[in-house]
Structure 1
């Protein structure tokens, strides 16, 4: 096999679009998916906004037997996997079961499911707790349910790295394909918008309390005051390029190549050593054999707080030079999706390479000059694109970087 890992299918469940095409149109149109959270009474919460997926009815997409045993995050993941496999043209008999694996990331597990069962435990007794609580809460459940539903018995894994975890999963999927597995479904999906899950996110101290959905999450803006949590993400079909060709996939059907990946961890606070994001980006570029001047666009982590934005801007500026590369953060329209954020950015980057357009950073308008960023604002920027760098940082020091590259369309 070629040891080249390419993406042949994308499935998206995002606050501003269900399905890849609806999401991509929303991104280019600047449609905001952030609104007031409606799943429970938030009147006593200091923040009331979320990147909430609306209009999703699991019973329209999944068999009834799966509904009692799945959290909303798993339902979204199963549907995203179905859409990605359909997009890639992978059916039940496409490949032998041990030639297909599943590698996902999840930051919060089945929060809504497990807290619903906890309420039954406390108020009714243990005999009322669902037997599915034994696994529906678990971080690996999305990997397990996708593999069972699609008969994928090859090498599989689950990774936990908060916002960076989704890129870690895709990097591991690339490694798995290069080691001989022909196809891996990979990415991340998260959701935690029950009362306990939402409050746990607020407890981190980085969630914006601004009530206006168009002003609450402003990455790299002088008015940045925190982020808005979101739900959803993306799952991708990652294949060996030669194997994909053997089953009839042409260059026109391939979104791009996962060309490089790296991860680092920040030094302990107070050590005086710099954060690890720049090292991750440099290592990912080296892994892809790409020089900084070859990168056409950077999809930023975009934390939305002044301190973290300033640190990321410095890493990008030092690597590419002031204004040296277009930078974008389309997650400003969805909120930060935890394990789903990185894969959704990778999906967006691949669509950008396909269509030759850099999506804008919604709502941000006043970027401090000291940041030295060429942040794409207001409207999409059309330009030839071949290589994109995607960055992600997780709470408490996780860093990940992934390089995607266009492939010949013939």
Structure 2
């Protein structure tokens, strides 16, 4: 018999704030930003100059050398984070039934940088110079496939492409897989689209900040907000059935207690945005009253209209200023498919540490519903966290976490 609880037993992080979970959490506690001028390519001709870049990541030191030329940078991040999450959980995949281990990851752009390089070879040298690995490295499911192959996980595997919301949607799917018979799921997101082709694609949504100052470029819920900053990285989690984890002596970071998903109506529709009802659906599944939520990890889009809509949803569910709100992604930028998964990892670490991490750089609250925005770490011993995410095009998700 499966239990009704699904818990997170392992965390792996590769982020602008550090290439291990410990480094990331230390940066969060110190308010140390990973944002800076783009250095991965010459960006002076682009309207966006600031991004969250992963520092000092050497793929050949993190993953098998043969995989480095076969896969994209985002997959490198995902493989490294998955390895760390399994180690953190104390799991040896070789000792578990291969068909009872599953992999579900989020992706937004696939192997953008790998694909760009192959297109450059095509147009400058001809089709004979395009490598065979282009057929798989660019694909949205590449990270899922490579993690599955590397660890012999032959249970249900998949990818969810709902942009920023994907990092929560995959955890919702992980719960379904565990209830359906899987013993363990490796889940999370990875993204690395900081290359000329990737940045041009991101510019089309009109939401990236043109501010060249890393300390002012990403200011969600601030009167001077000018958009968000793009980022790269990965966050992977080991999710297990609660009873199975306890039987093997695993220590859980926390429980995934509730999940909700929605989709915004088309522009101009009289229907309201989906966020309010998505939050309520997640709380209802967790059997929690809004008053029992101790902190909210905001989506924090960084544009005036989207931030106002999020603040209105929070005010409707919790009353204005009725719940502490934080956005640690101000340290990393929005990591797209990896962003919400990283928020979940950070929220679990915060529940374990007994504090609410800070939102950095925001100094002038925007007009609209009041927010209790946490700008300095608060030691309040939180027991529940709500993580929110909205993906480009209308995807909306909410996840409730409770302390172990």
Q: Is the 8 A contact 1:191 1:232 kept in 2?
A: yes
**Aligned-residue offset at 1:134:** 0.7
The answer to whether residue 385 in structure 2 is matched with residue 384 in structure 1 is: no
- Distance in 1, matches of 2:10 and 2:399, equals 18
Deviation track 1:23-50 (CA, whole Å, cap 9, x = no partner) reads: 0110110101110111111111111111
The runs of 4+ residues in structure 1 deviating greater than 3 Å are none
- Distance in 2, matches of 1:342 and 1:294, equals 22
**Aligned-residue offset at 1:215:** 0.3
Deviation track 1:77-99 (CA, whole Å, cap 9, x = no partner) reads: 00000000000001133311111
The TM-score normalised by the length of structure 1 is 0.97
In structure 2, the residue matched to 1:13 is: 14
In structure 1, the residue matched to 2:66 is: 65
In structure 2, the residue matched to 1:254 is: 252
For residues 26-41 of structure 1, the aligned pairs below 5 Å read 26-41=27-42
The one of 299, 302, 305 aligned to 1:304: 302
In structure 1, the residue matched to 2:26 is: 25
**Aligned-residue offset at 1:369:** 5.5
In structure 2, the residue matched to 1:125 is: 126
For residues 146-295 of structure 1, the aligned pairs below 5 Å read 146-249=147-250, 253-295=251-293
> SS at 2:363's partner residue?
coil
> SS at 1:43's partner residue?
coil
**Aligned-residue offset at 1:225:** 0.8
**Aligned-residue offset at 1:365:** 1.3
Q: Is the 8 A contact 2:94 2:152 kept in 1?
A: no
The TM-score normalised by the length of structure 2 is 0.98
Question: When the two structures are aligned, how many residues end up with a matched partner?
Answer: 403
- Distance in 2, matches of 1:92 and 1:188, equals 20
In structure 1, the residue matched to 2:79 is: 78
Q: Which moved more, 1:172-181 or 1:207-216?
A: 172-181
CA RMSD of aligned residues (A): 0.9
For residues 360-371 of structure 1, the aligned pairs below 5 Å read 360-368=358-366, 370-371=368-369
- Distance in 2, matches of 1:2 and 1:46, equals 51
- Distance in 2, matches of 1:124 and 1:3, equals 57
Q: Is the 8 A contact 1:14 1:334 kept in 2?
A: yes
Q: Is the 8 A contact 2:223 2:367 kept in 1?
A: no
